[in-house]
Structure 1
Amino acid sequence: MQNKFTKVLKYDAVFEENEGGGYTVTVPSLPGCISEGDSFEKARVNIADAIKLYIEDLQADNKEIPSSNSPTFVGQISVAFP
């Protein structure tokens, strides 16, 4: 009997709320991997699909899949100017 395992990768995603509504999502560990959605949930589903396609393209080209365990930190920075 042959066992089949599924590899699960987890990536940090940055969700930015758009002025006109909806969200734009990027994945810092996967340059160029970007998606959008009319709601947070739709954006989450769309970026999951985009990540899967991104990785499938890397595999098809025999390229290395970037690590999924590099944490991304998002914070607010105050800047004073005249």
Structure 2
Amino acid sequence: MFLTLEVDREADGRFIAEVPDLPGVLAYGVTEQEAVARAQALALRVLADRLENGEPVPSLLPLDFRAA
């Protein structure tokens, strides 16, 4: 499974990272690396929550993040 990770810089200098394949998965960070790490962690939490609640999830192996 490959998740696309998009990163942009806001006008105020913060970075925002988003995983478009998982609605609502976006995170801010002071640095690009911080925003990416937070978005990846949130994506994993969303997938885990879906698994725990019996909701459909795409095949998880292999799991990797790709920069857009």
Moved over 6 A (4+): none
Q: Unaligned regions of 5+ residues in structure 1, if any?
A: 1-8, 69-73, 75-82
Aligned length: 61
1:50 pairs with 2:42: yes
How high is the sequence identity, in percent, across the aligned residues? 18
* CA RMSD across the alignment: 1.9
Report the alpha carbon displacement of residue 61 of structure 1 after superposing the two structures with TM: 1.0
Q: What is the TM-score of this pair, normalised by structure 1?
A: 0.65
Name the residue aligned to 2:33: 41
Of the two structures, which has the highest relative contact order with CA contacts closer than 8 Å and spacing of 6 or more?
2
Q: TM-score, normalised by structure 2?
A: 0.76
Match of 1:11 in 2: 3
| Conserved? CA contact 1:17–1:23, under 8 Å | yes
Q: Are residues 35 and 66 of structure 1, via their aligned partners in 2, closer, same or farther at CA, if it must alter by over 3 Å?
A: farther
State yes or no: 1:62 paired with 2:54: yes
Give the aligned residue type for 2:19.
Answer: V
- Please point out which of 7, 15, 24 is paired with 2:16: 24
Bigger helix fraction: 2
TM-fit CA distance, 1:17: 0.4
